[in-house]
Amino acid sequence: MSVYPSGVKVVEVGPRDGLQNEPVPIPTEVKIGFVRKLAAAGLREIEVTSFVRPDRVPQLADAEAVLAGLADLPGTRLSALVPNERGLARALRSGVRRIAVFTAASESFTERNIGMPVEASLESFRRVTQEAAAAGMSVRGYVSTAFYCPYEGPIPPAQVLRVAAALLQMGVDEVSLGDTLGVAVPTEVDRLLETLRGELPVERLALHFHDTSGTALANVLAGLQAGVTVFDSSAGGLGGCPFAPGAAGNLATEDLVYLMERMGIETGVSLEKLAEASLFIEDHLGHGLSGKLLQRLRASGWTPAPATEVAATNRTKPACADSSS
């Protein structure tokens, strides 16, 4: 019988990874409201924005304004993606205390995404990490295409190990391994983590699944069984990678939290308030969100209760938790 952890950390990436590919501009005040609602749901680590070039990702051109609007948000660690030293300079001016750097296990994907080979990206991030540490910032690292690359196909685990190890050696405190295409299956998760566990501390690894093929939750289970306790997800299933054709959104945070809750694994997240946050941002997207639990709630006619009603009923169990099975 598998032994599961008593709790996991959920890293919410919807405001950055989720919104970056949306074609309709989202007003700054809406993004700020979205993050505040996510924090109110109990999410304690939220990737808010990215300091990339505005012409590359116009949706996130308001990074400084978003962070300024969240300066008084207590109890939640906010982070921002930083692509290079120029982005780090912007991050430092914004006052954000945690950043993330992004590379890939695939040479082809790295070239097309950030315009340089993997080794060059690591050298660039080594400088960024050193400067960030000197400024008192913490740094998270992403390794995209950790399972498959849209240009090279399957990625050998040893290739992922090399990149992840380099990030940890330069001072990154956590490495998130991404199934960018959303096509991995549990046996491949097992194989990758078996390779990495012999060389790297599993407590410093996170998993980031897209749900293109409907296997994201199955892959989470494989990760849990291998000892991983940190998972990235996106409210409502927001997301999709502009450099990975056909990739669907991220694993929906509601679906992840529901699975953990039913398994008796603590997340600290309220499903009801999380659904409120997802419905809030959905109203500004021009399309529905893909999360399975959110779709079920929408079909049932569920709507968020007014704050006064929630307080009056003193609910202790999220209204969207399924107690029938």
% helix / strand / coil in the chain, to the nearest 5? 45, 15, 40
CA pseudo-torsion sign 74, 76, 77, 79: negative
Q: Which two tokens stand for residue 190?
A: 């097992």
Cross-strand pairs, 98: 79, 138
Cβ 275 vs Cβ 304: under 8 Å: yes
- Which residues are tagged catalytic? 241
Residues in the chain: 325
Q: Which two tokens stand for residue 310?
A: 């929630």
Cβ 62 vs Cβ 91: under 8 Å: no
What phi-psi label fits residue 42: left (phi over 0), alpha (psi between -120 and 50 degrees) or beta?
A: left
